[in-house]
Amino acid sequence: MESIKSYVRYNETHKILICLQHKHAIAPGTGLKRHFQRQHPEMSSGTRQKILESVKDLELEDVDNVVIPDPEEYPIADIEVKNGFACRHPECDGFYAGEMSTMAKHCQRKHGRQDNDPICWTEQTVQTIFQSNTSLKLANIVR
Ligand SMILES: [Zn+2]
Ligand SMILES: [Zn+2]
Q: Domain segments of the chain: what residues?
A: 4-65, 81-141
**Per-residue DSSP letter, 1:** -
Q: Distance between CA 128 and CA 105 in Å, rounded?
A: 18
C-alpha–C-alpha distance, residues 11 and 143, integer Å: 22
Task: Say which ligand is closest to the CA of 119.
Answer: 2
- CA 83, CA 86: separation in Å to the nearest integer? 10
Is 129 in contact with 79 (CB distance < 8 Å)? yes
Quick check: 79 and 23 in contact, CB under 8 A? yes
Q: Is 97 helix (H, G, I), strand (E, B) or coil?
A: strand
State the amino acid at position 88 in one-letter form.
Answer: R
State the ligand closest to the CA atom of 109: 2
Residues 60-93: tens digit of each pLDDT: 998 888 887 776 676 889 998 888 898 999 999 8
What pLDDT digit, counting tens, does each position of 3-59 carry?
A: 778 899 999 999 999 999 999 999 998 999 999 999 999 999 999 999 999 999 999
Ligand 1 centroid – CA 39 distance (Å) = 6
